Structure 1
Amino acid sequence: MAERTAKKPSLEAILVLTAFAAGSVDVIAFAKLGGILCSAMTGNLAFLGFYIGRSAVASAIGSGIALIGYIIGSAAGTLISRGMDQLPALRALLGVEAMLLGGAAALWHFTPHRLGSSTGDGVVALMAVSMGLQSITGKRVNLSSIPTVVFTSTLTNIVIGMTDTLAGKGKKLPQDTKRQVASFLMYFAGALSTGYAVYRFWGGLIYMPVSAGVLAFLSLLF
């Protein structure tokens, strides 16, 4: 009797779901937690300088916590996945990320999370650590140079791919570019849908990135 072949996980699904989570997390942090970013560290670093320059203490502290949390998450992700093959590493990374996002959601749901409060800073810290972990997930997926947490370089690669396609008659759009476009749009979709939830004052908006993170983890199991 032939042995059953293990089903290969969809790396593309992981990329788009984690990109959605990153967009959602950034909008929540920006709109509800003091104008900061938890995944896009280039923008967050610029905000940190801006807030320090204008003596906006609470927002500066939040941006600093996000930066430190992201660094801790990246370091933790490196250690967690060290020496592991791709699939076990992704399971570990996405499992921990889902738990961190779930912890942020619980803290958000059961405590006040005003700007400058310890619980608000706790939500920022948990989300930032989860995004640092996610940056290592993107490295371990290792598909089409998509980091899942910062999309400036992804946009550059999209423009390069499309320009090369248009300049070369008859060439098809590269598969890498298609994946990059999909991830870029899913980051935007996460930001757009969460932004709409903020506008409509929907209290469950914190569960949007959690759902994406859990689905990314479950995609490795089924």
Structure 2
Amino acid sequence: MSDQRREPAGEHPVQPPTEPGTALHLALVLLVAASGAVEAISFTALEHVFAGVMTSNLALLGMAIGRGQATGVTAAVLALTGFALGAAVTARLTRRSGDAGPGWPAPVMYCLTGEAVVLAAGAVIWAAMGGTPGQTARDALQFGAAATMGVQSAAMVAAGRAAAPTTYLTGTLATYIVRGVGAGRPNRWVPAQLAALMVGAGVSMLLLREAPGWAGVLPVALVVCAILTAAAPVIRMRRGPSGS
């Protein structure tokens, strides 16, 4: 009889965690750019609250209460509620996400697809109103924008080591300075993410000024590109054996 030991049925050797590949890093950069675009629309064209930065929204809520501004209170509460709902639903859908190998787990990809669908619906509403929605539409769009950022934030948490924050980069910047620059091991993708946030917001502002009805298309396009980029390694891996 052979002395070779076989793996028990249904069990696989545990693989050490690996760093995300280039495709996933690029997907993260695209998602950051999308969040920058959404934040520009949310803060400047809706009710002057953020779609994905809840720390700032809590401060804005406190200021609105202190000033007795009902509109500011409503906007902040809508953003906080939308973000929380989006994050909670995503957490529920991704709670059993496992290791997806070279890509993000399927539930994460499904949630990002759902984010793109909601953003697309918002873009259609925005375009139909010529980029100047009324109060009720602004409230609905504010809630939806915050919900998409909640989805995106929770999806990146569920993706684990293969992802990073994409809607709130204060911690990313602090970690880069302390563990990167301070320790002499800077992560070259962090500057790309910070630049993407500014570029996404800047292009969004340009569209709001020059072609306001089209401003909602940019976040949709960026999220779709991120999904396709993140899916590329898995597609190549599945096609590899059949093509050989």
Q: What TM bracket, shorter-length normalisation? A: 0.7 to 0.9
Q: Could you say what secondary structure the match of 1:35 adopts?
A: coil
Superposed, 1:113-128 pairs within 5 Å as 113-114=133-134, 117-128=135-146
State how far apart, in whole Å, the 1-side matches of 2:32 and 2:161 are.
13
Aligned to 2:61: 48
Does 1:104 find its partner at 2:122?
yes
State how far apart, in whole Å, the 2-side matches of 1:45 and 1:150 are.
14
Does 1:218 find its partner at 2:231?
no
* 5+ long unaligned stretches in structure 2: 1-20, 233-244
State how far apart, in whole Å, the 2-side matches of 1:157 and 1:130 are.
25
Tell me how many residue pairs correspond in the alignment: 204
Aligned to 1:76: 89
State the Cα deviation string for residues 103-161 of structure 1 (Å, max 9, x = none).
111222224523xx221111111111110010112213334873111111011012111
Greater shift, 145-154 or 118-127, is seen at 145-154
Superposed, 1:30-179 pairs within 5 Å as 30-85=43-98, 86=100, 87-111=105-129, 113-114=133-134, 117-143=135-161, 146-160=164-178, 161-165=180-184, 173-174=185-186, 177-179=187-189
Q: Could you say what secondary structure the match of 1:37 adopts?
A: coil
State how far apart, in whole Å, the 2-side matches of 1:106 and 1:29 are.
16
How far the C-alpha of 1:9 sits from its partner, in A, is 8.4
Does 1:186 find its partner at 2:169?
no
State how far apart, in whole Å, the 2-side matches of 1:83 and 1:9 are.
25
Does 1:21 find its partner at 2:34?
yes
Aligned to 2:4: none
2:24 alignment partner AA: L
Larger Rg: 2
State how far apart, in whole Å, the 2-side matches of 1:34 and 1:217 are.
29
> What CA RMSD, in Å, does the superposition of the two structures yield over aligned residues?
2.0
Q: Measured at CA, do residues 80 and 108 of structure 1 come closer, stay the same or move farther in structure 2, by a change above 3 Å?
A: same
Structure 1 contact 98–217 (Cα < 8 Å) conserved: no
Identity %: 26
Q: Could you say what secondary structure the match of 2:164 adopts?
A: coil
* 5+ long unaligned stretches in structure 1: 1-7, 166-172
State how far apart, in whole Å, the 2-side matches of 1:152 and 1:96 are.
26
1:29 alignment partner AA: S
Q: Measured at CA, do residues 181 and 78 of structure 1 come closer, stay the same or move farther in structure 2, by a change above 3 Å?
A: same
State how far apart, in whole Å, the 2-side matches of 1:211 and 1:145 are.
20
State how far apart, in whole Å, the 2-side matches of 1:144 and 1:181 are.
18
How far the C-alpha of 1:221 sits from its partner, in A, is 4.0
State how far apart, in whole Å, the 2-side matches of 1:142 and 1:9 are.
16
Structure 1 contact 65–124 (Cα < 8 Å) conserved: yes
